[in-house]
A = this chain, B = another copy of it.
């Protein structure tokens, strides 16, 4: 088995849900060397997260932002962690509901995603900042 690991920095994205599949593929060409294996993507932050969802219609990503703001609202009276602004505590909660990593099969050197699946960066803070990802691909070599 081979293993490749690399840290990349994403460009700053505004608050919301963003497709990053093509960035991952471009920044991590090592995954083409794996015939059968897995790619693990980890985000090193607690106010942004990763998920896999629909890759075609931008209204899906907008509805994600709307619904997550309803399910995990700002300014709840019971929030005690308010020092870093009203977007901070909801960002922590959203990040744990969505998760800090995704794992995707690799088959014949390519991500074995479904036709409609893409990788989302979920940016939960108002102020865009660069986010660091650790990419780890492993499996049998081509």
Point out residues on A near B: beta carbons under 8 Å: 1, 3, 5, 36-38, 40, 42-46, 51-54, 57, 59-60, 62-64, 66-67, 70-72, 76, 78-81, 83, 89, 92-93, 95-105, 107, 112-117, 120, 132, 134, 136, 138-140
Contact = CB atoms under 8 A, between A and B. Distances in A.
Contacts of A44: 112-115, 117
Max chain B C-beta neighbours (<10 A), residue from A60, A66, A102, A105: A105
Identical copies of this chain, number:
3
Interface of A is mostly: mixed
A97 B97 contact: yes
B104 A42 contact: yes
Nearest to A76: B67
